[in-house]
Structure 1
Amino acid sequence: MSKAHIPTYDICSLSMGKPAAEDVLVARFTDYLAAHQDIHFPHRHSFYHLACFTKGNGSHTIDFERFPVKAGQLYFMIPGQVHSWFFEGKTEGYVVNVSASFFNSFLQDAEYVERFPFFSGVSTEGVVQLPKQAVAVVAELFEKMLREIDGEEAYGHDMLRLLLMEMFIQVGRATRRGSAKQEAPHNYVLLRNFRKLVEQHYMQLHLPKDYAALLYVTPNYLNAFCRHMLGKSAGEIIRDRVLLEAKRLLINADISISTIAYQLSFADNSYFTKFFKKYAGITPEEFRKNIS
């Protein structure tokens, strides 16, 4: 295993040979793969990464969870997620790389994009299998984006923003129609706020009561709410985030296991090892060996 960190790419480093655009890239997947043949190895992005498959087989791994590649499938990834892929045969589709700030000059609410469930940062929620009737609609939006980014019309970036927002809404509608239940809007707000707090504080705060206090609810309410919305307790969601970060850190062989335990606020290395083995099924040392 390399002792270097997992590489983190920015949009300019994946510019497809055109003048580097700092905010957005749209390309056909075959062209993207041909231009960047080394990016099937594990890596991160500093931007939002969208992949849509219209043809192909193989697997795509996001944050150590493997998904089979299928036609009509979209992958939504937020900055910082670790992913890699292994394709079998020819893979076709589209890819969009877009910076977190791309919509800031366009939307009054800078956090609007984060409201879509596929941008939660949870790998299973970021993989969307489109219903048949939605595939053609979404593919046409990607085609319009390609024409827009290759053209020289005025307000090109604004049109790309509109097309991306339409695509997010179309996918959001298609996935929500498939849900058995329709939740009240304030439930999604509370869930989003809880997840945001976990993302900010998971290294220091490991107990549901800490987050319940920040959200002005009781620990029992927070646990029941999370079970209702996600089928998991608040403690499980916090634990999953800590475990994910432990796996990400363990990939870098330069960081000792005791240092990782300290970074994640475990009392000692032994406690961290017990935690990791209980929930990952193997010790941190075994995980490192398997990844190599």
Structure 2
Amino acid sequence: MKTHLTQSISRHALYLCVIMSKAHIHTYDICSLVMDKPASEDILVARFTDYLAAHPDIRFPHRHSFYHLAFFTGGRGSHTIDFERFPVAPGQLYFMVPGQVHSWFFEGRTEGYVVNMAAGFFNAFLQDAGYVERFPFFSGVSAEGVVTLPEEAQPGIVALFEEMLVEMDGTEAYSHDMLRLLMLEMFVKVSRETRNGDVPQEPPHNYVLLRNFRKLVEQHYMQLRLPKEYAALLYVTPNYLNAFCRHMLGKSAGEIIRDRVLLEAKRLLINVDISISTIAYQLSFADNSYFTKFFKKYEGVTPEEFRKSIS
């Protein structure tokens, strides 16, 4: 059972902190983690130590309704994103999109920076509302959202974060616009640093098609399970879509759809208050038996066994 703790964070705003239990994954909105900023804020930049001190319960599994970024400059531990575990090390950037489940465990003091950014933060600044989604680390795939910067590139990114912290005070005119500029500069520099110069770049339309396919899967994976259904929405043939996905991601279109269904199943299974049959229904399986067979075929364990392993 969740316990709700109402806490005053400033004379400007009140927010609701939720102390999480193992039985439930809480979704935080950006206003609940503002750290003494007004509840209308749509951006937060903070030092990681200050952020953890203000919100100790966010070490437990949770998800956000906003974009979340962590940059580690010191310390060690582990960070789990959508059931994939990554060892924490200095120089790492973690980019997370709304809805991803994550938790972390640190050994000793961990230093760095954290950014919480509303989905519409750039909407009033850029004509293309989907511009941020073009960066590969915002794909929503856990491994693609973890970036290790070369040592020589780290001081420049640290400097950008320090500038962002200054602008967070909001004492200068156009502070939010400057934050947007600094954020975009950081995104571009990180993308440049992590591109493999030895690998030929794909034509731009390939990235557009991949992004559109992933967005369609995110929107319709509970109802549409066949590659031909997505191919029709993208105006390509099923064979082309499968070949394209194998070329870009090393997986068929069917595997990408299946992986998204499995991910949501695992997210739902964490909540022990939801029955297996209810999860099967939510994911549009004909019955509990079919869902169990599907899950065991691709995960190697039944839903019940998976649930016990993470409890």
Question: Contact 1:257–1:269 at 8 Å: present in 2 too?
Answer: yes
Q: Give 1:73's match in structure 2, choosing from 83, 92, 101.
A: 92
- 1:129-185 deviation digits (Å, cap 9, x = unpaired): 112222111111101001111240000000000000111111111122356231110
1:35 aligns with 2:54: yes
Q: TM-score, normalised by structure 2?
A: 0.91
Is the alpha carbon distance of 1:45 and 1:188 closer, same or farther for their aligned partners in structure 2, counting shifts above 3 Å? same
3-state secondary structure, aligned to 1:101: coil
Aligned residue number for residue 121 of structure 2: 102
* Cα distance in 2 between the residues matched to 1:33 and 1:94: 11
Find the counterpart in structure 1 of residue 224 from structure 2: 205
Structure 1 match to 2:288: 269
Specify which structure has the higher proportion of strand.
Answer: 2
**Distance in 1 of aligned mates of 2:242 and 2:47:** 43
Q: Quote the offset at 1:17 in angstroms.
A: 2.9
Partner of 1:51: 70
- 1:203 and 1:18 mapped to 2: Cα distance? 37
Paired residue for 2:236, among 217, 225, 240? 217
Percent pairwise identity: 83
Instruction: Return the alpha-carbon distance in structure 2 between the equivalents of residues 196 and 97 of structure 1.
Output: 22
- How many Å separate the matches in 2 of 1:178 and 1:67? 25
Shift of 1:56: 1.2
| One-letter amino acid matched to 1:12 | C
Q: Which residue of 2 aligns with 1:62?
A: 81
User: What's the counterpart of residue 158 of structure 2?
Assistant: 139
Measured in 2, the distance between the counterparts of 1:217 and 1:107 equals 30
Structure 2: how far apart are the matches of 1:21 and 1:174?
Answer: 34
8 Å contact kept, 1:57–1:91: yes
Distance 1:146 1:80, change over 3 A: same
Are 1:3 and 1:254, in contact at CA under 8 Å, matched by a contact in 2? no
What is the CA–CA distance in structure 2 between the aligned matches of 1:236 and 1:80, rounded to whole Å?
21
Corresponding residue number in structure 2 for 1:230: 249
Secondary structure, aligned partner of 1:254: coil
| Partner residue of 1:17 out of 36, 43, 48 | 36
1:284 and 2:303 matched: yes
Query: Structure 2: how far apart are the matches of 1:184 and 1:134?
Result: 27
Extract unaligned runs of 5+ from structure 1.
none
Letter in 2 for 1:205: L
Aligned position for 2:139? 120
Amino acid in structure 2 at the alignment position of 1:262: Y
Native 8 Å contact 1:15 1:21 kept in 2: no
Q: 1:178 to 1:249 in 2, by over 3 A?
A: farther
- Take 2:227 and 2:170, find their aligned partners in 1: how far apart are those partners? 51
Distance 1:42 1:161, change over 3 A: same
Structure 1 residue runs of 4+, over 4 Å off? Answer: 1-4
1:241 partnered with 2:282: no
Q: Distance in 1 between matches of 2:197 and 2:300?
A: 33
> Is residue 161 of structure 2 the alignment partner of residue 162 of structure 1?
no
Matched, 1:254 2:297: no
Residue in 1 that maps onto 2:149: 130
The structural deviation recorded for 1:9 is 1.1
Gaps of 5+ in 2: 2-20
Instruction: Name whichever of 2-11 and 239-248 sits farther off.
Output: 2-11
**TM-score after normalising by structure 1:** 0.96
What amino acid is aligned across from residue 98 of structure 2 in structure 1?
P
Bigger mean CA deviation after superposition, 269-278 or 186-195: 269-278
Measured in 2, the distance between the counterparts of 1:129 and 1:179 equals 18
Q: Secondary structure at the match of 1:159?
A: helix
Mapped partners of 2:80, 2:203: distance in 1? 32
Cα distance in 1 for partners of 2:37, 2:149 equals 31
The one of the two structures with greater contact order (alpha-carbon pairs below 8 A, sep at least 6) is 1
Conserved? CA contact 1:57–1:88, under 8 Å: yes
- How many residue pairs end up in the alignment? 292
1:208-233 CA-partner distances (Å, limit 9, x unpaired): 11111111111111111111101111
Contact 1:49/1:97 (<8 A) preserved: yes
What is the SS of the residue equivalent to 1:95? Answer: strand
